[in-house]
Amino acid sequence: MPDGAAGVVVETALARFHYARAGNGPPVLLLPGAGGWRFTFQDLIPVLSQRHTVYALDPPGQGATEILDRGLSLGVDGVVRLIGDFLDAVGLGRTAIVGHSWGGGFALRFAELHPDTVTRLALIAPGGLDVKDAWEFRLARLPVVGELVLRRLLRPSIRHMLIKSFAHRDRVPEDRIDDLVRTMRSSRLDDVLRVERSVSWAATERDLHLVRAPVLLLWGDRDRYFPASLARRFVTRLPQAEVRTVPGGGHSLHDDCPEETRGLLVRFLAGTTADAAGPGR
């Protein structure tokens, strides 16, 4: 757990949410990518909590969060409903959101459906476009194969996907792999598969024009999951978006190029533009 971050649980009729909370100031919600959990951001939380109250959530079907309403759909809109349920439970009427990968896609959809709730939206290599997923995620959606990957081949699968997320091989947090494996094994793996097999981004891309909050898109130019060229597809529907491409960065940009990414996030969340100190559009 990051220094100063308190692990907290809040329960609603829909779910038992696990999250970390740290700092004081304007709120910011952190949403990790698929297969991630709140401590994916363990190095980012102390930085942002210097100026913000940070809520780092285990999203539905990930980490320790447990879905209690077993009849709830776990497609994109179902996950967004649960995110809204969490924000209501912790008393956040408005918040900034930082989302990574699929967490960025869920953040986008939340901002489309609840535009008055989102103050600023920072997206790190986000999902949200109606494009073909990387083969690893397509594999997880297959009957029997997905169960095999999660239950029998979990450690090599996590290691492969983590390494692929980094452009800088020396920055891969090998010491976190066993923690990731333990976290995944303690999760409800059927919920992990339900999310993986239910998500479609067609409506999210269609409704991008509904986002009203300022948007920062951050991308590494060596991303092997979502190529940085996808940013152009976002900005055609998000004219208010500022795009920053970080040279030499992979998919887990906040860990692969931490100094550049943190600086850009801090300035954006403070309401200032990412100026000449950061990479250009």
Q: Domain boundaries in the chain?
A: 6-269
Is pLDDT larger for residue 194 or for residue 238?
238
147-179: per-residue pLDDT in tens? 777 676 778 888 888 899 999 999 998 887 887
Residue 28: enclosing H or E segment and its boundaries?
strand 27-31
Residue 253, class by beta-carbon neighbours within 10 Å (0-12 exposed, 13-18 middle, 19+ buried)?
buried
**Which residue, among 277, 265, 273, 214, has the nearest Cα to 51 in the 3D structure?**
265
As a whole number, mean pLDDT of residues 93-112 equals 97
Q: Is the pTM of this model over 0.95?
A: no
27-51: per-residue pLDDT in tens? 999 999 887 778 789 899 999 999 9
Amino acid 37 reads W
The pLDDT of residue 86 is 98
The pLDDT of residue 61 is 76
The pLDDT of residue 106 is 96
**Which residue, among 178, 202, 221, has the nearest Cα to 108 in the 3D structure?**
202
How far from chain centre, in Å, is Cα 94?
A: 18
CA distance 51 to 58: 22
CA distance 231 to 241: 10
The pLDDT of residue 186 is 64
Mean pLDDT for the chain overall: 88
Q: Where do runs of H (alpha helix) occur along the chain?
A: 45-48, 76-89, 102-113, 135-140, 145-151, 154-164, 177-186, 189-198, 202-206, 231-235, 253-256, 258-269
According to DSSP, the residues that pair with 118 across neighbouring strands are 95
- The residues, ordered by sequence, that sit 6+ positions from 236 with a Cβ below 8 Å of its Cβ are none
Res. 84: pLDDT tops 50:
yes
The pLDDT of residue 275 is 41
As a whole number, mean pLDDT of residues 97-122 equals 97
As a whole number, mean pLDDT of residues 197-207 equals 93
Indicate the pairing of strand 95-100 with strand 118-124. Answer: parallel
Is 267:249 a contact under the CB 8 Å cutoff? no
The pLDDT of residue 2 is 55
CA distance 164 to 148: 20
Task: Report the topology of domain 6-269.
Answer: Rossmann fold (3.40.50)
The pLDDT of residue 159 is 86
The radius of gyration computed from the CA coordinates of the chain, to the nearest angstrom, equals 17
Q: Count the neighbouring beta carbons within 10 Å of the beta carbon of residue 119.
A: 17
